[in-house]
Amino acid sequence: MLSIQSLRKTFIARDGTRVNAIDGVSLDVEQGKLLTLLGPSGCGKTTTLRCVAGLERPDSGLIDIGGRRVYDSAGKVLVPANQRGIGMVFQSYAIWPHMTVFENVAFPLRVAKDRKYGREEVAAKVNRALDMVRLGGFGDRAATQLSGGQQQRLALARGLVRAPSLLLLDEPLSNLDAKLREQMRFELKRLQLELGITTLYVTHDQSEALALSDEIAVLNAGKVIQRGNPHDIYHRPNCEFVADFIGSTNMVEGTVEGAVGADGKARVRTAQGHIVCTFAQTIGAGSPAEVIIRPEDVVVSASGSGENTLAGRIANRIFLGELIDYEIAVGSQTFRVRSRPDWDFSIGSAVALRLPPEKCIGLPRPAAGSPEARAHHEAG
């Protein structure tokens, strides 16, 4: 449905250096699916979205929407934004304050070039769009009278009114407060499923991405770092950056001891002891590696020993109601551990940390000083 190939765009930064805003991004989204571009600010996700919308002109690459070529640097094709027939919701909502709710939604129909919409047809379509986002009956209100959440839904109705083949959402929830954001997450998911509309979603919020997406593309420094469904992205990050960006993580550096077994497991020697972990890729014995484990995957107990069990001391704790966050000192390192509230330990008590081998992800670590290591460092 949407296909992006080798998209590139550079900006000249203030200090005169060239910055690769998009550095060879290739993506495709199947009909009816929702793909999220996830990454920190400045990773190129919004620029990519704006290139798809036609608001930004890439330097090179290809963009197809619904089989129609809208951008091709080689074939000299650049379809302007107002002829791409897409729906879009902006971060600021961009609700026109001088129009009513109805007029805001009716705008795309009123400026349509391919056909003229009669008065009744406009009314019918606008009202249907407003009903869809649960703003039915709000048509006569001044757009500025709406609350933040309502404005957000109004922006969505405006994006949907033409029944576009592609919907672009640019951080649509970031201006809402936490509670409303959670509510709108469900709303968006419902709408997207109901309408089966192909959607490209941009956000820096990992929980939003995990909650809404069929697929996630994690971007950093203009490149797609990892692509996959939410489950894989969360549980099988392919690098420290992804692991760290999607949820918090503990990272232990070490060296691989012995070959990776048929089950993908290998022992890694670290300053805190040996850790058996799961590697997704083959790695030779003696290679530098890092072990990644999520705070909620660490099991804390009063005592214990054996494989993948480390001794530590509670350095700090925060009680959060449904769970407890600990900082646990293990040797020279501090682990973050998220535990059930009944595993309650006071500050200073000695504990045992069990790291389940299937939850410990082993990743190759670039040698210090190598170009990869430096890129790695900057990315983090």
State yes or no: residue 54 binds other proteins (CB under 8 A): yes
Tell me how far, at minimum, the Cβ of 74 lies from other proteins, in Å: 11
* Residue 80 lies near other proteins (rule: CB under 8 A): yes
- Nearest-CA neighbor of 200 among 377, 1, 350? 1
The sheet carrying 77-78 orders its strands as: 18-29, 2-12, 60-65, 68-72, 77-78
The least distance separating other proteins from the CB of residue 199, rounded to whole angstroms, comes to 15
Which pair of tokens denotes residue 209?
A: 């991405």
Q: Identify the sign of the CA torsion 256, 260, 265, 267.
A: negative
Q: Which is nearer to other proteins, 83 or 183 (CB)?
A: 83
For the bound state, the minimum distance from the C-beta of residue 88 to other proteins, rounded and expressed in Å, comes to 5
Residue type present at position 20: N
**Residue 125 within binding range of other proteins, rule CB under 8 A:** no
Query: 3-state SS of 143-161?
Result: HHHCCHHHHHHHHHHHHHC
Give the residue from 50, 51, 61, 44 showing the smallest Cα distance to 6. Answer: 61
- Give the residue, chosen from 28, 68, 83, 368, that forms a contact with other proteins under the rule CB under 8 A: 83
The rounded distance, in Å, linking the Cα atoms of 244 and 21 is 22
How many residues contact other proteins, by CB under 8 A? 37
Q: Is 94 in the site for other proteins (CB under 8 A)?
A: yes
Q: Give backbone dihedrals phi and psi of 247, rounded to 5 degrees, phi first.
A: 80, 165
231 binds other proteins (CB under 8 A): no
Residue 81 makes contact with other proteins by CB under 8 A = yes
Least distance to other proteins, CB of residue 254, Å: 46
Tell me the chain's radius of gyration from C-alpha atoms. Answer: 25
Instruction: Kindly tell me which residue out of 28, 30, 68, 96 binds other proteins, with binding defined by CB under 8 A.
Output: 96
Interaction between residue 18 and other proteins (CB under 8 A): no
> How many CA atoms lie less than 13 Å away from 310 in the CB half-sphere?
27
Residue 45 sits in the site that holds other proteins (CB under 8 A):
no
Among 25-33, 76-84, 252-260, 292-300, the segment contacting other proteins (CB under 8 A) = 76-84
Q: Does 78 bind other proteins (CB under 8 A)?
A: yes
Residues paired with 257 in a beta bridge: 267
Binding site for other proteins (CB under 8 A): 12, 53-57, 76-88, 90-92, 94, 96-98, 107-108, 110-113, 144, 155, 158, 162, 168
